[in-house]
Amino acid sequence: MIRYIDVKKVYPGNIVALSNISFQIDEGEFTFIIGPSGAGKSTLIRLLVRQELPSNGTIFFEDVEVPTIPNKLLSIYRQKLGIVFQDLKLIPTKTVLENIEFALEIAGKSEKEVSETTQYLMDVVNLKGRSHLFPHELSGGERQKVAIARALANDPKLVVADEPTGNLDTDTSFEILEILKAINNWGTTVIVITHDPTLTSNLKTRTITLKEGKILKDEGKKEKSKSAHNSLFAQIERPVRKKLRMHGIDSLEELLSQSEDSLEKVGLTDHQLKMLNEKIQNYLIAHK
């Protein structure tokens, strides 16, 4: 999904932020990028969202060469990405509900879809009952959850969280990571940027360590999952997965327990429903 090819970034004053970095991240991976302040972590993300251009080398997102994207197409490209910025960028004059709705409204969603998706996203990040509060009335962990929910508004293929647990206590930090892991389990690629190596201890996943703009280590590369859960869900189109999640169908067991009548109530088109039923039947035949 993502390829950095000999990427170098030099800032004025001959400050080298990245030095000939090369790596790739596959679709569906959960990857930590760790390193101390100044290691080049945030520069990697600014280049990915094309806030900045590399001095040398290039970056691909799927088949798109990011540095060459015309300015007029940047907004379309960025809708594929869900970025949780380090400073969160919440709108202080809007409530939790309004902050999430705003992201959907900008994307041109219908009033019905804005309402349904906002309620669903607040449930995903465990913010039910907090919708009327403003950012200054929330705890640090709750503000982080709002930022994650907003990043998910367009059902992005990739979510990047920059220091999502920076000033949080241990319990809240792991709650945030559990939310990100749940998002990943449904097929979304997740990258977590952090300076704290202890965060990776409970998650056996890929960790890229940066130091002084270079890759020091790249460990625990995630193998393609052979689990029954992912082998079925990976074949389901993203819009269908989203509708299933919005109706509380978020595990293999729940999906297989649904009758055809109950799946029709999810709101799938006839074509989507036919394709989903075919995939379920193929799975059942393969796993007799």
Q: What is the mean pLDDT of residues 254-280?
A: 82
For 49, the enclosing helix (H) or strand (E) is none
Q: What is the CATH number of domain 2-219?
A: 3.40.50.300
What gap in Å lies between CA 258 and CA 264, rounded to an integer?
A: 10
pLDDT of res. 45: 92
Strand 189-194, strand 158-162: pairing: parallel
Q: What is the mean pLDDT of residues 177-193?
A: 88
- CATH 3.40.50.300 placement within the chain: 2-219
User: Over the stretch 71-100, which tens digit does the pLDDT of each residue have?
Assistant: 999 988 998 899 998 888 899 999 999 999
Structure-block tokens of residue 1:
């999904």
Q: Is 194 exposed, middle or buried (0-12, 13-18, 19+ CB in 10 A)?
A: buried
User: Over the stretch 108-153, which tens digit does the pLDDT of each residue have?
Assistant: 888 888 888 888 888 889 888 898 999 999 999 999 999 999 998 8
Q: Is the pLDDT of residue 183 over 70?
A: yes
- CATH 1.10.150 placement within the chain: 228-286
Strand 214-219, strand 206-211: pairing: antiparallel
What are the beta bridge partners of residue 192? 32, 161
- Exposure string (b/e) for 226-245, b if CB count within 10 Å is 16 or more? eeeebebbeebeeebbebbb
Q: What is the CATH number of domain 228-286?
A: 1.10.150
Q: Is the pLDDT of residue 223 over 60?
A: no
What gap in Å lies between CA 270 and CA 288, rounded to an integer?
A: 27
Q: Cα torsion for 8, 45, 212, 4, to the nearest 10°?
A: -40
pLDDT of res. 275: 83
pTM exceeding the 0.85 threshold for the entire prediction: no
What are the beta bridge partners of residue 150? none
Structure-block tokens of residue 76:
């379309």
Cβ contacts of residue 186 below 8 Å, gap of 6+? 233, 241, 245, 250
pLDDT of res. 221: 61
